[in-house]
Amino acid sequence: MKTLLRVDCSSTRTGSHSKELSDHFEVSWRKTHPQGKVIRRDLIEERIPHIESNTITGFYAPEEEMTEEDKRATALSDQLIAELKEADEILVSGPMYNLSVPSALKAYIDQVTRVRHTIRVGEQGYYGLLAGKVGYTITTKGGYYKGTESELYDFYEPYVKTMLEFIGIKVKGQISLEGTSLDTNLTDTKAKVKAEIDQLIHNTI
């Protein structure tokens, strides 16, 4: 039985393009994994705090020397990492904000990128510890980037892929819906993107 962890981060509560696409992803994924389990983590419905000084102290404290305060300060990180570890496949879905990820997603990334838990420092540098898992991203953007001179300014997709792979998750697909503020035929464009999602899920079974 496979487990999908679905992470959403759009602040838009009604009519979110990225959530519509991740809903589609989830439905399509469930069709190919009828016995599968889906864990939903909406970073807006349940806020993830920024890491604080005591979180950092707890992250770097040797396991056997962790104080009660260290344990309290890292309890949420433990929970989020446990969810990632439980999942076989991870979907990160959200909108581009100011050329990058919404701050809610950055706060999440800071909570789950953690020495000894998701990364290890070895002689050759960093190693991701979540090997064997597959990642996907869905990104919605108001403008157009791919194949344009603005592509250089897309700090969302390359960043999320890099961070998932940094902790060991192999990114198998990055789907994007671009031009949500400009496209006059968004319904058709969305239908094409949904077909891409179906294809991606079908190809990675």
Ligand X SMILES: Cc1cc2nc3c(=O)[nH]c(=O)nc-3n(C[C@H](O)[C@H](O)[C@H](O)COP(=O)(O)O)c2cc1C
Residue ranges that bind ligand X, judged by CB under 6 A: 10, 12, 16-19, 95-99, 140-143, 180-181
Nearest approach, Cβ of 156 to ligand X (angstroms)? 9
User: What does the DSSP assignment read for 125-189?
Assistant: EEEES-TT-EEEEEEE-SS--TTSGGGGG--SHHHHHHHHHHTTPEEEEEEEE--TTT-TTHHHH
CB atoms within 10 A of CB 48: 22
Nearest approach, Cβ of 97 to ligand X (angstroms)? 4
Nearer to ligand X, 59 or 97 (CB): 97
The answer to whether 74 touches 117, Cβ cutoff 8 Å, is no
Nearer to ligand X, 130 or 160 (CB): 160
CB atoms within 10 A of CB 196: 16
Cα(187)–Cα(79) distance, integer angstroms: 38
Grouping H, G, I as helix, E, B as strand and the rest as coil, residue 41 is strand
Apex 149 CA angle, 145 and 153, nearest 5: 60
Nearer to ligand X, 18 or 74 (CB): 18
Nearer to ligand X, 12 or 32 (CB): 12
Nearer to ligand X, 70 or 154 (CB): 154
Nearest approach, Cβ of 143 to ligand X (angstroms)? 3
Nearest approach, Cβ of 75 to ligand X (angstroms)? 29
Nearest approach, Cβ of 134 to ligand X (angstroms)? 23
Nearest approach, Cβ of 98 to ligand X (angstroms)? 5
Apex 199 CA angle, 198 and 203, nearest 5: 120
Nearer to ligand X, 12 or 199 (CB): 12
Grouping H, G, I as helix, E, B as strand and the rest as coil, residue 79 is helix
Which run of H or of E encompasses 77?
helix 75-86
